[in-house]
Amino acid sequence: MVVEIYRRGFLGLGFLRRLARKQRVQLLILVALMVHSSQLVSGAENGAHEDPSKLDFYLITVDVGNNVWDNFGHSALRVVDGLAGTDTIYNWGVFEVRDGPVAFAYDFFIDELEYRLATQSTRREIDNYRAQKRTVWQDELRLSAAQKQRLLARLNWNRAPENLYYDYDYFFDNCTTRIRDYLDEALDGAISAQVATMAGATFRDQVRIHYASLQPISFSLDVIMNSNFDREMSGWESLFLPLNLRASLAQLKGVNPQEDREASFFGRREMLLNYEAPAPQRDFYRTASFIALCLTLYFLLMLKRIRRSYFATHSHLGFRAAGVNFRLFGGLNVVLFGVSGIYGFLMLGSWFFSGHEDLHHNVNLLLFWPTDLFGAVIALRWLFLAQPWSLTNNNKPFMVYYFLAKFSAVILYSFATAFGFFEQDTLQIALFILPWLLLLGLLGWLVGFDAARSRDSIF
């Protein structure tokens, strides 16, 4: 009996030991599951992806369009998540017109226009470019698992409501530079290191090239842009252009995830849409110069002397067929003085009120004055009445001094350009615009004004 009791006691102890071991195993399993769950939660909070191999990134590059705002092209990121079954385009080129076009223009002028990140399905995004008839390229990005996680975390950060908007800058913070910066961050500075020794053209050169299909806009920007645009871009800065970024990334080395070896950073490359790019227009400077010089020559050939009725030995210059030629001359000067006054108003106003420092301290203010708008008013008399403006003792001194000041500014501008005193690129304007502006100004003074009395002279 005693032996049986001891035997059963030992069996009970064994059962208790086995039960304890089983409970320890279960406890360890429970702890492991809790740790794994906490890691998943932490990873989700940090924007991590459970399986980076199911995550693919593509660079979307859109060619230039026909509108003023898309003549530099466009860049976006496509993210395909095979695990979640999503296909999303990240687009940093979206802005909102909240209070109409006038408010939008004012916000852009004073540099308070906000852009934001927008996301939508790839199909809808590509349909937008198809409607705009713009060529679209897609390039697969070869990224390691760690690089994918880093890039995804940055995108998730950017999607947060407090990080959605950014202060847009056409050269230094736009839809393309955002992608450039995020990729460079994910690649530990590989992009910036690759272009560190590169030197690009000037910003002004790029503006002229990309607005070749909109020559009047190109000329207008050439006038109102100051010397900030005339410094040479660094290789890094040149990547604000979508096609430059694409070309630079095509030369970069990445990791082939399938073979775990160095390979081209771009994987599969394809053209999603193919349309003809906008055709360049004729050079505005040469075309405008040729037309203006032809008109000036015509007006010179139409000059004739007109005797004053009150003193037979005195005469002044006028036009043959005055009814037609004065109206033609007046219409031309309404346009020229009006455009010059608008340019002057924009340059002077931006200097004081705009946050765009690239529009401040512009030497073209020597030529384009806000007060030229009054010249457009005078030219209206030539257009509608077909006769010169009569000078009196009251208004003649003002007109004489204004003309002398304008003439002196033109001479100073020409001299400074010829000897390289300006940091700003003014050669095109000095070569193609100044000559006929000067000739038309002299012609306007000789023909467009008439002294009220015989003792009056030109000056």
Q: Decide which of 243, 273, 303 is a domain's last residue.
A: 273
Residue 215 belongs to a domain: no
Q: Mean pLDDT throughout 250-259? A: 73
| Cα 70 off chain centre by | 8
Q: Name residue 363's beta-bridge partners.
A: none
Shared-domain flag, residues 29 and 71: no
Shared-domain flag, residues 99 and 170: yes
Q: What is the pLDDT at residue 13?
A: 42
Tokens encoding 22: 């089983």
Query: CA 362, CA 11: separation in Å to the nearest integer?
Result: 100
Q: What is the pLDDT at residue 101?
A: 59
Query: CA 36, CA 29: separation in Å to the nearest integer?
Result: 10
Q: Mean pLDDT throughout 190-212? A: 89
Shared-domain flag, residues 41 and 56: no
Query: CA 453, CA 49: separation in Å to the nearest integer?
Result: 89
Query: Which domain range does residue 445 map to?
Result: 284-451
Query: CA 302, CA 325: separation in Å to the nearest integer?
Result: 8
Shared-domain flag, residues 26 and 100: no
Count of the separate structural domains present in the chain: 3
Task: Note the pLDDT tens digit of each residue in 28-68.
Answer: 444 444 444 444 333 444 557 888 889 999 999 999 988 87
Give the number of other Cβ atoms within 10 Å of residue 24's Cβ.
10
Q: What is the pLDDT at residue 3?
A: 37
Task: Note the pLDDT tens digit of each residue in 435-451.
Answer: 988 899 899 988 988 76
Any idea of the CA torsion for 432, 434, 435, 440, to the nearest 10 degrees? 120
Shared-domain flag, residues 67 and 89: yes
Shared-domain flag, residues 260 and 174: yes
Band of the pLDDT at 105, cuts 50, 70, 90? low
Query: CA 61, CA 271: separation in Å to the nearest integer?
Result: 10
Please identify which residue in the block is written with the tokens 């459970």: 50
Task: Note the pLDDT tens digit of each residue in 324-372.
Answer: 999 999 999 999 999 999 999 999 988 888 877 888 899 999 999 999 9
Residue 18 belongs to a domain: yes
Q: What is the pLDDT at residue 317?
A: 84
Shared-domain flag, residues 193 and 333: no
% of the chain residues with pLDDT over 70: 81
**Average per-residue pLDDT for the chain:** 84
169 DSSP assignment: B
Shared-domain flag, residues 154 and 35: no
Query: CA 352, CA 371: separation in Å to the nearest integer?
Result: 17
Q: Decide which of 247, 273, 299 is a domain's last residue.
A: 273
Tokens encoding 126: 């590509």
Shared-domain flag, residues 178 and 325: no
Query: CA 386, CA 380: separation in Å to the nearest integer?
Result: 9
Shared-domain flag, residues 315 and 183: no
Task: Note the pLDDT tens digit of each residue in 380-427.
Answer: 999 999 888 888 888 888 888 999 999 999 999 999 999 999 999 999
